[in-house]
Amino acid sequence: MASDVTRESHQVIWMRPTRNRRGPRPAHSREDLTRAAVDIADEHGLDEVTLRAVAGRLGTGAATLYRYIETKRDLHDLMVDAVSAEYALPSTPTGEWRADLRALADQARVIYRRHPWALTLSADAAWGPHVQAFMEYFLAVLAATELSLREQTELIAQFTSTVATFAAHESRQSRRSFDSVGDMARVEHFQQIAQDSTLPRLATVVRSMLTEAPPDVDDLFRHTVDRLLDSVEPRGPAV
């Protein structure tokens, strides 16, 4: 029995029972913990997700959380999988890989805008069932390109990072409060750069930024995704 307990304690959370076999039935579930942690991260940022904060939101003591998880890393794994559960993945790709990835990018943008902290945790997370489903679908889409397995995994990483970074910037901008004094100081600084003859190229760009209407964000996102897809050199039929 001791060896079984030790072995379980070294397994990622997806390989362990959803509740401790011994002791009374817990008052909460993994889903309850996950929902509380995600809500805290969405409202206050990832740094505020502590076991004490999660327990407080559930109305229990921090020590009781160890009935459900063993480490904070377990909690992070649960959070990443919960975010991945928000994708509405088609049962099968259409075979038009560019269209499929654009549609996936649109979903990812919404999800990462809702959870701008998620990319920070994704790289080190153990893959839960919803992450696995996302990866399986993405790889099925890329099968039409006949890219090598290495190229496929590299593209998934680039795609996720690009979309998540764009969405996180959108989220920060939407939550940013207006600071009239500070914002005017920045505009004056840009105006100074725009007149700097020692930086002719940068000055031209900054003058354009100051005088032209800002780009449509949706168009900018589509162009960003298209530039990434244009970098792919498929060996299968181009679609």
Q: Tokens 């792919």 sit at which residue?
A: 232
Q: What is the reported pLDDT for 176?
A: 63
Q: What is the reported pLDDT for 77?
A: 97
Q: What percent of the chain has pLDDT over 70?
A: 87
- Return d(Cα 185, Cα 99) in angstroms, integer: 43
Q: Is the pLDDT of residue 161 over 50?
A: yes
Residues 6+ apart with CB under 8 A from 79: 34, 37, 38, 41, 49, 118, 121
Residues 6+ apart with CB under 8 A from 44: none
Q: Is the pLDDT of residue 231 over 50?
A: yes
> What's domain 97-230's superfamily in CATH?
Tetracycline Repressor, domain 2 (1.10.357.10)
- Return d(Cα 88, Cα 137) in angstroms, integer: 11
- Return d(Cα 5, Cα 102) in angstroms, integer: 45
Instruction: Read off the pLDDT of each residue in 2-29 and give the average, rounded to a whole number.
Output: 66
Is this structure's pTM higher than 0.85?
A: no
Q: What is the reported pLDDT for 229?
A: 95
Instruction: Classify residue 41 as left (phi > 0), alpha (psi -120 to 50) or beta.
Output: alpha
Q: pLDDT of 49-72, one tens digit each?
A: 999 999 999 999 988 888 889 899
Cα separations in angstroms, 123 against 140, 156, 161, 177: 21, 12, 10, 30
CATH architecture of the domain covering 2-79: Orthogonal Bundle (1.10)
- Return d(Cα 84, Cα 111) in angstroms, integer: 8
Question: How is the chain split into domains, by residue range?
Answer: 2-79, 97-230
pLDDT band at 88 (very low <50, low <70, confident <90, very high): very high
Q: Supply the mean pLDDT for the chain.
A: 88
Instruction: Read off the pLDDT of each residue in 194-221 and give the average, rounded to a whole number.
Output: 90
Q: What is the reported pLDDT for 177?
A: 57
